[in-house]
A and B are shown apart, each in its own frame.
Chain A
Amino acid sequence: MDATHLQLHSEPQYGIFLFEMPDRIPEISGAAIVVVGSFNPAIFQPEWFARQNLIPVPEADQAELKMVHPQLSHFETERFFIQVTTERFVAMTRATTDTSVLGDLVRGTFFILEHTPITAVGLDFQMHFSVGSEEAWHRVGDSLAPKEVWTEVLRGRPGMKVLQIEATDDNGHKMTIKVEPSIKITHGVYFETNEHYAVEGKKTGSAFLDELLRNRWEGAQDDATKIARSVLDWSLVDR
């Protein structure tokens, strides 16, 4: 994948925008960036992030260290969860943190650790939407997973618990979407999206990651929200 390719992907890739309705705003949203490669977990400590000016010193001082070990580092700050193993780096926002800050944190981290071998990157978003009523809530489940086949073989009222959809575009990029009833929002629907990118071409892993986050991070978030809105709007239309 080269820069031109990524530039093209700064435009929404997964647009299925069927309805012109007032935009739904997620009640809760979060994001995670998963980097697969080869890491030295022991260096990923709050003090290191503060020393590199990636997080403020007071945030590092108040971080909750879960574990720091040559093969696993895990800590939580006021805004982020960070977990690093020898093969995987995960940075995630907390529910009280806006997702916009996460991309900079990861870009900065691997700008500094430019020689880190990276093989794949995942951009994940989580959203909880309220649909307002129990009737609407059931309608979403019934639209996405029609119950006719189940009412023939099950007693009681069957309900959708998890729906997972996966698609791979022409460039080989995989997107996975999961839909569940929200356990946080009354009459809410939970969406989780994952965009998976394998490092391709002659670029170093860190250069690939930097370019991906620069060109795709905000677009991926916008697309995730648009997809969730569109699926909800489609599900709630009277048929």
Chain B
Amino acid sequence: MPPRLRGASSIGVWSTAESQNTTGESVVSAVRYDTAPIWPHDDQSPRLQATALRVNEAAGTPPQELPVDVAVPPPIPTFGQKAESSWLRRRQLWEGTVMETTDEGFRAQLYDKTNPSYPDEEAVFDFCEVSDEDRQLVFPGSGFHWVIGTESTRGGQVKNVSILSFRRLPRWSKRSLQRALQAADPTEG
């Protein structure tokens, strides 16, 4: 069935196929997207073997062919100039290491990332400053980031914020440690 109409939309170039319904009227039975590329300046994007087929149910025509090789590369997300409605302005960043924990909180050594020439400091934090989810990560030796800044809200308010984020790095598995030991063993091939 030859295509009757062709055009371009945000997801590609399309063409229509027509068929006759039970009353003999000619109706659009399918819209087929058959070409790439979509987003400019995105030559690294993969070809997404997606399909776009719309069947006119009124025509009672089943899908006759599924279009293939339709490229729909998504744009690379970037917030750079996007209008997010609230944002954080960081004024100070420390990297911390937990020295000891108590029932109420923990003591930590802080390295000033904003002013690296400043000497290390120690501080005591209360557990109420740590999110419930991060509490399990607080133990001697664990690392975290402490940010002090201001947050501009979507309502135009400016809030002073202090954020403790404990680092979530995966631990070595027994298998990985075994492999590393083998790699380091000069008697192993």
CB-contact partner of B88 in A36, A74, A97, A112, under 8 A: A97
What separation, in Å, do the CA atoms of A182 and B73 have in the docked complex? 27
- Tell me the bound Cα distance from A36 to B45 in angstroms: 10
Residue of A nearest to B91 (CB): A25
Interface residues of A in 64-96 (CB under 8 A from B): 69, 71-72, 74, 81, 83, 85-88, 90, 92-96
CB–CB A104/B167 < 8 A: yes
Is A52's beta carbon under 8 Å from chain B?
A: yes
Candidates B79, B91, B167; contact of A126 at CB < 8 Å: B79
The answer to whether the Cβ of A233 comes within 8 Å of any Cβ in the partner chain is no
The answer to the question of B133 belonging to the interface, with a C-beta cut-off of 8 Å to chain A, is yes
Shortest distance between the CB of B168 and any CB in chain A (Å)? 5
Assembled-state Cα–Cα distance A83/B168 (Å): 20
Question: Quick check: A98 and B46 within 8 Å, CB to CB?
Answer: no
Asked whether, in the complex, the Cβ of B89 is within 8 Å of the Cβ of A85, the reply is no
Q: Given A183-B83, A218-B113, does the pair A83, B145 have CB atoms closer than 8 Å?
A: no
Chain A, 33-48, CB within 8 A of any chain B CB: 34, 36
The answer for the CA separation of A72 and B38 in the assembled complex, in Å, is 15
Q: Is A160 engaged at the interface, CB distance under 8 Å to the other chain?
A: no
Q: Which single member of A55, A85, A183, A190 contacts B74 (CB below 8 Å)? A: A85
**Complex partner residue of A108 from B80, B93, B95, B169, CB under 8 angstroms:** B169
Q: Point out the residues of chain B lying under 8 angstroms from A146, CB to CB.
A: none
> Which chain B residues numbered 35 to 75 have a C-beta less than 8 Å away from chain A?
44-46, 48-50, 73-74
* B167 and A98 form a contact (CB under 8 A): no
Residue of A nearest to B95 (CB): A100
Do the beta carbons of B145 and A98 come within 8 Å of each other? Answer: yes
Residues of A within 8 A of B46 (CB): 71, 85-88
Q: Can you list, as one digit per residue, whether each of A45-61 has a CB less than 8 Å from chain B (1) or not (0)?
A: 00000001111111100
Whether B131 lies near A71 (C-beta < 8 A) is: no
Find chain A residues with CB under 8 A from B112 CB: none
**B187 near A: Cβ within 8 Å?**
no
Contact A104 B168 (CB under 8 A): yes
Q: Give Cα distance in the complex from A56 to B163, angstroms.
A: 15
For B155, what are the chain A residues with a Cβ–Cβ distance below 8 Å? none
Question: Pick the contact of A26 from B76, B86, B89 — CB < 8 Å?
Answer: B89
Given contacts A71-B48, A88-B45, whether A83 and B74 have CB atoms under 8 Å apart is: yes
Query: 1/0 per residue B21-46: CB within 8 Å of A?
Result: 00000000000000000000000111
| 16 residue pairs from A and B, CB less than 8 Å apart | A25-B90, A27-B87, A27-B89, A69-B50, A72-B48, A83-B77, A85-B46, A87-B45, A92-B77, A92-B79, A95-B88, A101-B145, A104-B167, A126-B79, A190-B80, A192-B78
In the assembled complex, A236 has its CB within 8 A of some CB on chain B: no
* Shortest Cβ-Cβ A-B pairs, 5 listed: A56-B133, A95-B87, A87-B46, A126-B80, A95-B84
Interface residues of A (CB under 8 A from B): 25-30, 32, 34, 36, 52-59, 69, 71-72, 74, 81, 83, 85-88, 90, 92-98, 100-101, 104-105, 107-108, 111-112, 124, 126, 180, 182-184, 190, 192, 218
Residues of A within 8 Å of B133, CB to CB, are 56-59
Report the nearest A residue to B131, measured CB to CB: A56
B189 CB within 8 Å of chain A:
no
Q: Which one of A81, A86, A96 contacts B86 once the chains associate, using CB atoms below 8 Å?
A: A96
Q: Which residues of B contact A55 (CB under 8 A)?
A: 168
A74 CA to B52 CA, complexed, in Å: 19
**Is A94 touching B169 in the complex (CB atoms < 8 A)?**
no
Q: Are B86 and A95 in contact (CB under 8 A)?
A: yes
- Distance in angstroms between the alpha carbons of A86 and B73 in the assembled complex: 10
Contacts A105-B168, A218-B113; A100 near B48 (Cβ below 8 A) = no
